[in-house]
């Protein structure tokens, strides 16, 4: 290992080395269990005698900072966590016992073997320029693969030259907000508060547009520069945008020259029928389509994509260039390989069956519960809205049981106004397969009340 140490000449060589090593342990730069460099090597690097290094090691062994065993060298001893660091036990203690929060897939089902094969093939065949700075729009291999996949799976008109690869939906939304130069952006009410924050932090102003059982209320739109919608599976109510509303929304955008931002966050997951095609296919010149691998594969990959109207491609690419230059390339090449080999399709199909089974279990378990007014939303996605009589009371009981769920009340733009439905936004994608039945049992107990 390389070890950076700054020795103070005023302390003397041995004392200065002891002080520097002691400080490296205390501030966490040398972690518990870390093996120290051999005395001969460290002496050469620091320009001191080997005896000086050996004496410093021996002193810190005596003080309990290091341990030394024959044949194992010198290691950092297990000590208290450095100042300011959160002990691992505390992090674990903060995690819920039962996690039914919405927003994440079952990351335990990540297709590690398929991804590893795709990664190896991608790296083995990557041109040398793949390791250099890249096109801010993304690797052409991934944009070409996405063009075919989105066309056949989601009905998106996606020529590669109109695709921009991002590090996820949030970056795509931020880039569009900047390109719109601080304009007014309409967002669904209820909707995800974090996305509203993204728009505001990037210079946009947010106006709410109501959602009912037929989706976003087009008659509630004023004159914004853009409207952000989740037409395939509205978050969090779970409704799909009615065909008549889809036509009205695209007509509205054409008439005003406005942009529709389509968040297709879980469009592949429909369980009672074929997925509804993307809105973008109806009006590719008015819709900016945003998708991501976060729900299909896992949020850790940080890979998303935008399919843009022609007049926005250059402006968004320039904004991305000045944001992060380009999304990392090797992950893009691996995802392209995964798509081209159809391993991505196979994983999505397997996930669809697993999540359908989980949603069926949720509906069956909660259908006749006391205090439950109904499980709302279409059979799709990774969450369901469970309407209840007293949201605050149910959430308090959930916290007492160590159960984490989403709250519908957190998704409204404002707490004021007419009386609104109360409910839990229950995510059935997050738990591992073996943990899901017990989480449902605890949820049922919480909903039954005292």
184-214 per-position pLDDT tens digit: 999 999 999 999 999 999 999 999 999 999 9
Closest listed residue to residue 267, CA positions, set 368, 357, 150: 150
Q: DSSP letter for 382, please.
A: S
313-371 per-position pLDDT tens digit: 999 999 999 999 999 999 999 999 999 999 999 999 999 999 999 999 999 988 767 77
Please, which pLDDT band fits residue 91 given cuts at 50, 70 and 90?
Answer: very low
Mapping DSSP to helix (H, G, I), strand (E, B) and coil, where does residue 259 land? strand
pLDDT tops 70 at residue 71: yes
**pLDDT (average), residues 283-304:** 96
Q: Which domains does the chain have, with CATH numbers?
A: 9-76 (1.10.10.10), 98-107+346-448 (3.90.1150.10), 110-344 (3.40.640.10)
Classify burial at 154, counting beta carbons within 10 Å of its beta carbon; exposed 0-12, middle 13-18, buried 19 or more.
buried
Contact of 431 with 98, CB cutoff 8 Å: yes
Q: Which helix (H) or strand (E) holds 404?
A: strand 403-407
At residue 80, the pLDDT reads: 45
Contact of 408 with 425, CB cutoff 8 Å: yes
At residue 1, the pLDDT reads: 66
At residue 415, the pLDDT reads: 67
Distances (CA, A) of 387 to 63, 390, 400, 428, 447: 60, 9, 20, 16, 10
Closest listed residue to residue 204, CA positions, set 171, 172, 176: 176
Give dist(CA 140, CA 181) in Å, integer.
28
Contact of 229 with 262, CB cutoff 8 Å: yes
Contact of 304 with 166, CB cutoff 8 Å: yes
Contact of 424 with 386, CB cutoff 8 Å: yes
Closest listed residue to residue 275, CA positions, set 156, 164, 130, 449: 156
Where are the extended beta strands (E) located within 120-233? 163-166, 184-189, 205-212, 215-216, 226-229
Contact of 164 with 306, CB cutoff 8 Å: yes
Residue with tokens 């009205």, as numbered in its chain: 248
Residue 375 — φ and ψ, nearest 5°? -100, 115
260-292 per-position pLDDT tens digit: 999 999 999 999 988 889 999 999 999 999 999
Where are the extended beta strands (E) located within 194-296? 205-212, 215-216, 226-229, 259-263, 287-292
Q: Parallel, antiparallel, or unpaired for β 98-100 and 403-407?
A: parallel
Give dist(CA 158, CA 156) in Å, integer.
6
Give dist(CA 46, CA 61) in Å, integer.
20
Question: Residues for the chain: how many in total?
Answer: 450
Closest listed residue to residue 177, CA positions, set 158, 208, 138, 205: 205
Mean pLDDT of the chain: 91
At residue 46, the pLDDT reads: 86
At residue 124, the pLDDT reads: 95
Quote the tokens at residue 58.
Answer: 């021996």
Task: Look up the pTM and report it.
Answer: 0.83
């Amino acid at each position: 290992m390389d070890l950076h140490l700054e020795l103070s000449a005023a302390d003397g060589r041995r004392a200065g080395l002891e002080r520097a090593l002691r400080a490296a342990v205390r501030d966490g730069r040398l972690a518990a269990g870390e093996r120290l460099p051999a005395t001969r090597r460290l002496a050469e690097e620091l320009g001191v005698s080997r005896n000086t290094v050996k004496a410093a090691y021996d002193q810190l062994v005596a003080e309990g900072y290091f341990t030394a065993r024959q044949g194992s060298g010198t290691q950092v001893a297990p000590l208290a966590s450095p100042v300011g660091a959160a002990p691992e036990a505390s992090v674990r203690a903060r995690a819920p016992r039962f996690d039914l929060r919405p927003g994440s897939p079952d990351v335990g089902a990540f297709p590690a073997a398929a991804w590893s094969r795709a990664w190896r093939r991608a790296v083995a065949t990557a041109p040398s320029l793949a390791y250099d700075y890249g096109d801010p729009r993304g690797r052409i291999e991934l944009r070409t693969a996405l063009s075919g996949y989105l066309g056949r799976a989601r009905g998106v008109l996606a020529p590669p030259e109109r695709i921009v690869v991002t590090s996820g939906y949030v970056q795509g939304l931020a880039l569009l907000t900047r390109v719109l130069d601080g304009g007014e952006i309409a967002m669904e009410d209820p909707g995800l508060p974090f996305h509203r924050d993204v728009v505001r932090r990037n210079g946009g102003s947010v106006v709410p547009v109501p959602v009912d059982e037929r989706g976003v209320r087009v008659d509630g739109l004023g004159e914004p520069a853009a409207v952000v919608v989740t037409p395939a599976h509205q978050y969090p109510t779970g409704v799909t945008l009615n065909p008549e509303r889809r036509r009205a929304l695209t007509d509205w955008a054409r008439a005003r020259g406005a942009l529709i931002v389509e968040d297709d966050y879980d469009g592949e997951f429909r369980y009672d029928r074929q997925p509804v095609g993307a809105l973008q296919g109806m009006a590719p010149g008015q819709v900016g389509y945003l998708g991501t691998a976060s729900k299909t594969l896992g949020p850790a990959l940080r890979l998303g994509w935008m399919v843009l109207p022609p007049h926005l491609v250059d402006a968004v690419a320039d904004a991305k260039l000045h944001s992060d230059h380009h999304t990392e390339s090797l992950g893009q090449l691996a995802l392209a390989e995964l798509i081209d080999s159809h391993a991505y399709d196979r994983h999505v199909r397997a996930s669809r069956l697993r999540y359908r089974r989980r949603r069926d279990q949720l509906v069956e378990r909660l259908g006749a519960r006391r205090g439950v007014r109904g499980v709302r939303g279409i059979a799709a996605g990774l969450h369901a809205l469970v309407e209840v009589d007293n949201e605050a009371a149910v959430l308090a009981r959930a916290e007492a049981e160590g159960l984490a769920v989403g709250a519908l009340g957190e998704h409204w733009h404002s707490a004021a106004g007419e009386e609104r439905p109360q409910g839990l936004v229950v995510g059935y994608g997050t738990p591992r397969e073996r943990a899901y039945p017990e989480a449902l049992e605890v949820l049922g107990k919480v909903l039954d009340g005292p």
